[in-house]
Amino acid sequence: MTELVYIGEEVLPALLRGLWISLILILPSSVLGFAAGVLVGALRVYGAAGFRWLANAYVLIFRGFPLIIQLYIWYFGLPRIGIYMSPYGASVMGFVLCSAAYHSEYIRGALLSIRHGQMLAAQSIGLNRLQTVLYVIMPQAFRRALPGCGNEIIYLIKYSSLAYMVTCIELTGEGKILASASFKYIEVFMIIGAIYLGMVSIATWLLSMLENHLTIPGFERYRT
Amino acid sequence: MPSPTPVLAVENITKTYGIRTILDGVSLSINRGEIKVLIGPSGAGKSTLLQSINFLIQPDSGTVALEGQTINPHDKKALCAYRQQVGMIFQDFNLFDHLTALGNVEIGLIRVKHMIKNEARDRAVTELERVGLKQHTAHYPAQLSGGQKQRVSIARALAMEPKVMLLDEPTSALDPELIGEVHSVISKLGEAGMTMMLATHQIGFARHLAHEMIFMENGRIVEQGPPDVILDGAARQRTREFCSRISGAGEKR
């Protein structure tokens, strides 16, 4: 009985608070990260040499540094040069920059998989390069990148838990505080694990709806 | 006959890839309403020539002029404006897979010609009707047969109101029984006075369509002349060999 009271009066309110912070970390990070990833991926394939080099360097660094180190740099490091960020701001920036690097790789692969003939046909009716990429190549590449990008978003849901390391107390952070106070590690972390599982399940479902919605008629026979 | 300014004049085009010379100084011109057919063995440079004409392949040297205006391929705006006026039909159709037949025809009207949506739609439907695909406007490329896809691609090119059409082996990727529907669309275009340059291995069709035949080999024009002359009494040994080897050269007109 005391268990239930403990869960109802202490665990749930704290976890709901944490869940809310997690959600407002994840939603903008996934949208902005994806958008930036599309831009970086496009630059890596179609950009002028200088932009391509910059984008490649960006991806190398942001995939190369562990995310936790990136967060530490944004939150604890930048104040050294006079830039102060809130825990929340530093976390979102870290997530966006990191996930954009991964997204760009899925986008790059998808862009490269579009047959060259699509580009030729677009140019032959007078579309310029930017229009060709925007209206012909990207809509097709986007569909091919979706499973990979979805994977990255699902991964983001879980690595958002790193935010508590820079004192942005989200779901995992609230759990850590609860568990340290009560020593009920199993109970608390099982509940938290289940909440992440729930978020991931919803994201998976939304992504598959989107994939189905975007399926091009005539291609669905390749799906099961 | 007075010689008017040709619609399209190609002057001394060359293209090399590494040590391989694909086009070795090709010059030709085509007048309004004329239909010229490029024939020759695979690797002769027919496709490269057609793609060089609208700079989908950047030639190493040479010039292209549309109605007397030399095109500067480095002026991107001018190049896009020029490409609108030169319709291109590809061997493997290259329809935009994510758009319906209607969408494929509309996209150039909306994005390049900046037509408003309704106008573009009406125009696109008209073009699709012209190639006999009124029933298929809402279908995606993957739902169409090869012949239908090629007809959509012809409609897509026609919608831009080109002054000349370049057709790169338009039926070579098609089943024999689908070739006819595409040929009949092309023939109708020719009857309507469209200026066309066509690469094909369908010699019988070419004989009836062409005003002039151009035999190419190793990146050069070997010989050109009226189809009956090229096919039945070519001056050059090599042309005669090629023409005797391809089956079904069609009956003399």
The count of other CB atoms within 10 Å of the CB of residue B91 is 17
Q: What are phi and psi of B160, to 5 degrees?
A: -80, 0
pLDDT digits 0-9 by tens, A148-204? 999 999 999 999 999 999 999 999 999 999 999 989 899 899 999 999 999 999 999
Question: In whole angstroms, how large is the CA radius of gyration of chain B?
Answer: 18
Q: Is B43 left (phi over 0), alpha (psi -120 to 50) or beta?
A: left
CA separation for the pair A155, A171 (Å, rounded): 16
Number of other residues whose CB lies within 10 A of the CB of residue B123 = 17
* Neighbour tally for A43: CB within 10 Å: 20
Full domain range(s) for residue A141: 2-222
For residue A171, the model assigns a pLDDT of: 95
Question: How many separate domains does chain A show?
Answer: 1
Percent of chain A at pLDDT exceeding 70? 97
Same-domain check for residues B95 and B179: yes
Interface test with A, best of B55, B71, B111 (most A CBs within 10 A): B111
List, in sequence order, the alpha helices (H) in A47-136.
49-64, 67-72, 87-113, 116-124, 129-131
- The residue segments making up the domain with residue B171 are 89-194
Q: What gap in Å lies between CA B106 and CA A223, rounded to an integer?
A: 29
What average pLDDT does chain B have? 91
Yes or no, beta carbons of B140 and A216 under 8 Å apart: yes
Statement: residue B253 has pLDDT above 50 = no
- What backbone torsions phi and psi does residue B235 show, to the nearest 5 degrees? -70, -35
What is the spatial order of strands in the sheet that B164-168 belongs to? B86-89, B164-168, B196-199, B35-39, B212-217, B220-225
ipTM of the complex: 0.91
Q: Where would I find the beta strands (DSSP E) of B40-140?
A: 61-66, 69-70, 86-89
Same domain, B133 and B183: yes
Domain contains B128: yes
Chain B CB contacts of A211 below 8 Å: none
Of B169, B194, B219, the last residue of a domain is: B194
Residues of chain A in contact with residue B142, where contact means CB-CB under 8 angstroms, are 216-219
Q: How far apart are CA A24 and CA A18, in angstroms?
A: 10
- B72 inside domain: yes
Cβ of A216 within 8 Å of Cβ of B95? The answer is no
CA B106/CA B117 separation, integer angstroms: 8
pLDDT of residue B250: 52
On the CB side of B243, how many CA atoms lie within 13 Å of its CA? 30
Tell me, what's the pLDDT at B239?
Answer: 84
Instruction: Extract the tokens encoding A12.
Output: 């749930």
Q: Which of B145, B162, B194 is the last residue of a domain?
A: B194
Cα separation values, A204 from A144, A147, A170, A191, Å: 16, 10, 21, 20
CB neighbour class for A13 (10 Å; exposed up to 12, middle 13-18, buried from 19): exposed
Q: Which helix (H) or strand (E) holds B35?
A: strand B35-39
B84: contact with A, CB 8 A cutoff: yes
B164, amino acid identity: V
Residue where a domain terminates, one of B84, B106, B132: B84
pLDDT tens-digit map of A69-90: 999 999 999 999 999 999 999 9
> Best residue in A114, A124, A134, A211 to probe B by mutation, most B CBs within 10 Å?
A124
Q: Give A68 to chain B, closest Cα distance, Å.
A: 40
Task: Copy the structure tokens of residue A55.
Answer: 């984008």
Q: Which of B155, B148, B204 is nearest to B177 (CA)?
A: B148
Task: Give the pLDDT confidence of B98-153 residue by residue, as tens digits.
Answer: 999 999 999 999 999 999 999 999 999 999 999 999 999 999 999 999 999 999 99
What percent of chain B is predicted at pLDDT more than 90?
Answer: 81
pLDDT of residue B2: 53
Q: What CA–CA distance (Å, rounded) separates A36 from A17?
A: 29
pLDDT digits (tens, 9 = 90+) for A31-83: 999 999 999 999 999 999 999 999 999 999 999 999 999 999 999 999 999 99
pLDDT in tens, B66-94: 999 999 999 999 999 999 999 999 999 99
Distance between CA atoms of B97 and A52, rounded to whole angstroms?
A: 27
Q: How confident is the model at residue A129 (pLDDT cuts 50, 70, 90)?
A: very high
- Residues of chain A in contact with residue B139, where contact means CB-CB under 8 angstroms, are 217-218
Q: Report residue A209 as tokens.
A: 């709806």
Return the CATH number at A86.
1.10.3720.10
**And the tokens for A45?**
């394939």
Residue B32 lies in a domain: no
Q: Whole-prediction pTM value? A: 0.88
Return all residues near A78 (Cβ < 8 A) that are at least 6 apart: A84, A85, A90
What would the two tokens of residue B119 be? 């106008």
Give the number of domains in chain B: 3
CATH number, domain at B74? Answer: 3.40.50.300
Contact A122 B81 (CB under 8 A): no
* Same domain assignment for residues B172 and B118: yes
Q: Determine, yes or no, domain membership for B36.
A: no
Partner-chain residue, chosen from B56, B83, B97, that has the shortest CB–CB distance to A126: B83
Residue B1: exposed, middle, or buried by beta-carbon count in 10 A (0-12, 13-18, 19+)? exposed
> Across the strands, what pairs with B69?
B66
In this model, does residue B1 exceed pLDDT 60? Answer: no
3-class DSSP assignment, residue B252:
coil
Specify whether the CB–CB gap between B68 and B74 falls below 8 A: no
Q: In terms of domains, do B246 and B188 share one?
A: no
Q: Do strands B196-199 and B164-168 pair parallel, antiparallel, or not at all (unpaired)?
A: parallel
Q: Which of the four pLDDT bands, split at 50, 70 and 90, describes residue B236?
A: confident
For A99-127, the pLDDT digits (tens) are 999 999 999 999 999 999 999 999 999 99
Between helix A171-182 and helix A185-214 the angle, nearest 10°, is: 160
User: At residue A114, what is the residue type?
Assistant: I
A126 to chain B: closest CA residue: B80
DSSP per position, B151-166: HHHHHHHHHT--SEEE
Q: Is A221's pLDDT higher than 60?
A: no
CB contact under 8 A, A125 and B112: yes
Helical (H) or strand (E) element with B21: strand B20-30
Contact of B113 with B165, CB cutoff 8 Å = no
Residue of chain A nearest B145, judged by CA positions: A218
Residue B24 φ then ψ, to 5°: -125, 70
Query: Of B91, B27, B85, B35, which Cα lies nearest the Cα of B59?
Result: B27
